[in-house]
Chain A
């Protein structure tokens, strides 16, 4: 049997951990698929920064690790102002005209060089794996050969998901590779997709060992701490975590600190400031140590398609506390028994108190979470699901 050629398409190449989950996922999957003996090309843009989308790298072909990466310039003639204006309306879930949707995609991140290259060579690839869903670039790449495109959407329940363009995209491709069951059910509900058009694959994670005392020792933390790692912004729910934790300290008198890792400004209530450690962006080893030493990892976001940091916390043996409104995190917690969830402050207070005062519960939840990730998100399991999906979609194509 000939080795199939697979093209991965992603707006940026993940490097150094300063990127979103979708980019990390696509690069890691591409590397593993290549290492498993498949012929893989990774198509991406020359941009590094997700705000300016400036072409910072030289265009062309490079061998990076075990991956053949092709860099293409981002189109520089995009009307960013118009894009942002329409995007603001869409994100509020207000209806926009077809013309505005089209203008939104046209002025999104695009690379004519990449899509032209792909269109000319699409027949040479067995599969084109593209994502995440809300970029004009991914939309255009999917149009190059929809019958052999597999979308890795990293879909969230947000305004963009409700556009007609996204509905058309999801319905046009050969299949979707979802991260979790709830993400898949969301796509089925929004776009009327039949169950056979999607498969849950996810991202593999390597187990790690970290000294639980190392982070607290290095940072001079004498009290137990709650950790959050990721972008600090309203969409991720960090203001809620700051308000809740400040109130938790006042109401319960528990001396618990909050450690925030990642990027983005934070504006904590005055009462929390002396008990907040803003660690900023942490190198991988230090992040893992911070996770291993945390009493709880709290992820207050309601919109996730996988939640890599939650899985990493479980690998560190730390239980999580998540929002009940986040279908993905709730589902992960229920499946793994690796954490608790809250819908409003009283459940947060009671849940955190239980985790702080009952080390047996904390340990049992952390152990269950670790066993779940080692079982479901080990690379052999993920690659097995990926191969199954390819076989199934090949069968449908014939």
Chain B
């Protein structure tokens, strides 16, 4: 049976060519550490399903995660939704946060320790699994080569 009568257009190579350039640019920037960015790790939260079947994505994500591992307790903006006296309320909230911040340090440092240990453990697991897989693939390739070799008659 023939495939449906879809044709590949004359410009079919254009997108592939553009993608090859994009991948090369990404590889270049990755080597320079351009994507070691905690914000990327956060933006990838909706893309984690990729982890299921993409080994390269896991390596990339672990790299991003390494940048996002340490919690920044000051990464939020203090705001006030009420219009009336919002300036004063923001000032009051800021003052309150300055006083209370000290009491979060212990929790903050413990969280950072746990995060760091978890990422290290994940990276360790990933490296060990990759080494074992590489080793198994090498052995399998050798076995396949041996079995594919023509049998010599016994002398």
State the A residues within 8 Å of B (CB): 181, 195-196, 199-200, 234, 237, 239-240, 243-244, 246-247, 250-251, 270, 302, 325, 333-341, 343-347, 350-351, 354, 361, 364-365, 367-368, 371-372, 375-376, 381, 384-385, 388
| B155 sits at the interface (CB 8 A) | no
Are B9 and A243 touching (Cβ within 8 A)?
A: no
What are 27 residue pairs bridging A and B, where the CB atoms are less than 8 Å apart in the complex? A195-B1, A196-B1, A200-B4, A240-B43, A246-B43, A247-B39, A247-B43, A251-B37, A251-B39, A270-B77, A334-B12, A336-B9, A337-B14, A338-B15, A340-B15, A340-B22, A344-B47, A344-B61, A347-B22, A350-B22, A354-B18, A354-B22, A364-B11, A368-B11, A368-B15, A371-B9, A385-B4
Q: Which A residues touch B35, using CB under 8 A? A: 345-346
Are B57 and A343 touching (Cβ within 8 A)?
A: yes
State A344–B30 Cα separation when bound (angstroms): 13
* B85 CB → nearest A CB, Å: 22
Neighbour of B6 across the interface among A200, A338, A368, CB < 8 A: A200
Are B25 and A350 touching (Cβ within 8 A)?
A: yes
Are B42 and A243 touching (Cβ within 8 A)?
A: yes
Are A243 and B46 touching (Cβ within 8 A)?
A: yes
Are B14 and A199 touching (Cβ within 8 A)?
A: no
State A365–B5 Cα separation when bound (angstroms): 22
Neighbour of B26 across the interface among A196, A334, A339, A350, CB < 8 A: A350
State the B residues within 8 Å of A (CB): 1, 3-9, 11-16, 18-19, 21-23, 25-26, 29-30, 35, 37, 39-40, 42-47, 49-50, 54, 57, 60-61, 77
Are A365 and B7 touching (Cβ within 8 A)?
A: no
State A350–B24 Cα separation when bound (angstroms): 10
State A345–B11 Cα separation when bound (angstroms): 26
Q: Which B residues touch A341, using CB under 8 A? A: 19
Are B19 and A247 touching (Cβ within 8 A)?
A: no
Q: Which B residues touch A368, using CB under 8 A? A: 9, 11, 14-15
Are A240 and B47 touching (Cβ within 8 A)?
A: yes
Are A361 and B60 touching (Cβ within 8 A)?
A: no
Total CB contacts across the A-B interface at under 8 A: 110
State A233–B9 Cα separation when bound (angstroms): 33
State A243–B61 Cα separation when bound (angstroms): 16
* A376 CB → nearest B CB, Å: 6
Q: Which B residues touch A246, using CB under 8 A? A: 43
Q: Determine the main DSSP class of A at the interface with B.
A: helix
Q: Which A residues touch B60, using CB under 8 A? A: 344, 346
Are B39 and A340 touching (Cβ within 8 A)?
A: no
Q: Which chain B residue has the least Cβ–Cβ distance from A245?
A: B43
State A196–B2 Cα separation when bound (angstroms): 9
Q: Which B residues touch A340, using CB under 8 A? A: 15, 18-19, 22
Q: Which chain A residue has the least Cβ–Cβ distance from B2?
A: A195
Q: Which B residues touch A346, using CB under 8 A? A: 26, 29-30, 35, 40, 60
Are A325 and B44 touching (Cβ within 8 A)?
A: no
* B25 CB → nearest A CB, Å: 5
Q: Which A residues touch B22, using CB under 8 A? A: 340, 347, 350-351, 354
Are B43 and A375 touching (Cβ within 8 A)?
A: no
Neighbour of B12 across the interface among A335, A343, A384, CB < 8 A: A335
Q: Which B residues touch A199, using CB under 8 A? A: 4
Q: Which B residues touch A364, using CB under 8 A? A: 11, 14
State A376–B8 Cα separation when bound (angstroms): 10
Q: Which chain A residue has the least Cβ–Cβ distance from B24?
A: A350
* B23 CB → nearest A CB, Å: 7
Closest 9 CB pairs of A and B: A200-B4, A240-B46, A368-B11, A337-B15, A243-B43, A337-B14, A337-B11, A346-B26, A247-B43
Q: Assess A181 versus B3: contact at CB under 8 Å? Given A243-B45, A350-B22.
A: yes
* B35 CB → nearest A CB, Å: 5
State A325–B23 Cα separation when bound (angstroms): 16
Are A344 and B57 touching (Cβ within 8 A)?
A: yes
* B4 CB → nearest A CB, Å: 4
Neighbour of B9 across the interface among A345, A372, A385, CB < 8 A: A372
State A364–B9 Cα separation when bound (angstroms): 12
Q: Which A residues touch B25, using CB under 8 A? A: 350
Q: Which chain A residue has the least Cβ–Cβ distance from B26?
A: A346
Q: Which B residues touch A251, using CB under 8 A? A: 37, 39
State A250–B42 Cα separation when bound (angstroms): 13
Q: Which B residues touch A181, using CB under 8 A? A: 3-4, 6
Q: Which A residues touch B57, using CB under 8 A? A: 343-344
* A360 CB → nearest B CB, Å: 11
State A112–B4 Cα separation when bound (angstroms): 36
Q: Which B residues touch A361, using CB under 8 A? A: 18
Are A334 and B40 touching (Cβ within 8 A)?
A: no
* A307 CB → nearest B CB, Å: 15
State A334–B19 Cα separation when bound (angstroms): 10
State A200–B37 Cα separation when bound (angstroms): 44
Are B5 and A385 touching (Cβ within 8 A)?
A: yes
